[in-house]
Amino acid sequence: QSVLTQPPSVSGAPGQRVTISCRGSSSNFGAGYDVNWYRHLPGEAPKLLIFGDNRRPAGVPARFSGSKSDSSASLAITGLQAEDEGDYYCQSSDTTLRAIFGEGTRVTVL
Amino acid sequence: QVQLVESGGGLVKPGGSLTLSCAASGFTFREYYMSWIRQTPGRGLEWVAYITSTGSSIYYADSVKGRFTISRDNAKNSVYLQMNNLRADDTAVYYCAREGDTSSWYWDYWGQGSLVTVSS
């Protein structure tokens, strides 16, 4: 059982805004550890979307944004596109478990 | 460009051993910390092991501690994962990944993965 909780799925129409939540605890987010976000498509390497809570690597569109508050974090995707479909994972560190991942959220573009 | 290419996966019986390799190119390998991360069927991503740039510090997930060994050869731009006493729940796609910033615990580049299947 993961210590980071994500919804199993979210969906939206093209052009809409969707958000993916990631709930942590006092031993990870609450302890000041950053949240990072990845997208994983079947058969491909996971791709870093957000690091350090809200920073985008070069080449990641501004449509992707991250935020964190207390023991929760979220990833927002604005202007949803068909290519955004995939599995999204939040990730952080923990005082006892080193690196931890959320269970993943499947994003579907309707 | 940064490339990470895993190899060495395959089918192994429970209790068996396997060694994964990851060949890195496109960056100064000796300056980066590296990790192995796996995706198990239906269970998402799980961090497995971590090694600093010189190999002076190594960390393991509790699920593999005592059975898996991570190592690296900076002269060969490669990182390895030796897996012993394999169990069915070690079945997964194993990715090697480069840490984005020193001690940041996030990964900016990942390989395509190597499938390990543990079954009799």
B33 touches chain A (CB under 8 A): no
Mutate to test the interface with A, among B2, B45, B98 (most CBs of A within 10 A): B45
Furthest-apart CA pair in chain B: how many Å? 41
Comparing A27-31, A56-60, A78-82, the range with the smallest average pLDDT is A27-31
Based on its alpha-carbon atoms, the radius of gyration of chain A, rounded to whole angstroms, reads: 13
Which tokens hold the place of A5?
């909780």
Provide the 10 A C-beta neighbour count for residue A64: 18
A 47-86 residues with CB below 8 A of B?
Answer: 47-48, 51-52, 57
Q: Are B22 and B9 in contact (CB under 8 A)?
A: no
Task: Average the pLDDT over A89-110 and give the result.
Answer: 91
Q: In angstroms, rounded to a whole number, what is the distance separating the alpha carbons of residues B34 and B37? A: 10
- Tens digit of pLDDT per residue, chain B (120 long)? 999 999 999 999 999 999 999 999 999 999 999 999 999 877 789 999 999 999 999 999 999 999 999 999 999 999 999 999 999 999 999 999 999 987 788 999 999 999 999 999
Measured between alpha carbons, how far is residue A56 from residues A67, A79, B101 in Å? 12, 17, 14
